[in-house]
Structure 1
Amino acid sequence: PERFWDFSGSTFNMQRLDYPIHGMILAIQSRPLAQLYNGLLMGRILDLELRSEIGEDPLTLPEMFGEVRDAIWSEVAGARNVDSYRRALQRQHLKHLINLVVQPTPGTPEDASTLARADLKALNTAIERALSRGGLDAYTEAHLDETSARIEAALDADLIRKAG
């Protein structure tokens, strides 16, 4: 990269001089997730189910949650190694689900929080199955183990939040 001073001092304040490939890809991957898990959008999808005519097949919240989960976590079902780009995407997806369960934004439908909780439970079951099969590389095994721990902590926190 060019390392000459650019009269604004930005080169000297940069954290790194090379291109942050993983960070840029994660930024691209994160935007659609943020839009899909927006409380307003999920409320509209929920309302759309009621507005649809008989015979129409509208997108439902359970379909959206299931399709997104299956697409993002496809390696877990096949007990395959997960590359660094997909691990970052999976972590981002997990953050959205956990936030929906533990600290949903105002206006988020209760059904969305409930579906996120069900997604976390289904995901944890699939992860435990994948870990028990073995044969995963160190990155994937550590990633799935941490993910499982985060899911369990989120589910426990949800129960405490609802009890209090």
Structure 2
Amino acid sequence: MRSNGQPRADDWVNHVIRIRDTQDQVAFAELFRHFAPRVKAFLMRSGADPSLAEECAQEVMATLWHKAHMFDPTRATVATWVFTIARNRKIDALRKQKRPEPEDLPWGPEAEPDQEDILSLQEETRALGQALAELPEKQRELIERAYFGDLSHSEIAAETGLPLGTIKSRIRLALDRLRHTMK
């Protein structure tokens, strides 16, 4: 403990270990009191409305409880781990908000596209397929999972076992190559 009564970073690690090993509710309550308001404030500063921030903060803390076994103190501090979970939860929540609800989708026949638009779209599709085929296999696989499989970077990391930073780097490099090729 520090002189201000706040646990040090290594004390938070001990809290997570107690949650992992014995489902210690006191340790969880202390982590919750410390991190939940900070997570909510962080999410609101990054543009989330108060209700979304509150919901995400609750989910983050529930994740901490259920997935304490996944925390690795050699890779990150507890604070870094918690705020990474928060950031990913916010991204997931925003993605869900942007998906149209069935009642928002148009019903009935849509106007037929012009033949010129069809040919242009077919050419773009062909060019994109060729550009994707020319990507290195590791980059292409991650692009396909992210954009065709609709997986978040965190979900890809969980499926592949690759570090999140590697996934982000490969996707960024692949998108740069695609942009250059499609100009």
TM-score (norm 1): 0.29
Question: Which structure has the larger Rg over C-alpha atoms?
Answer: 2
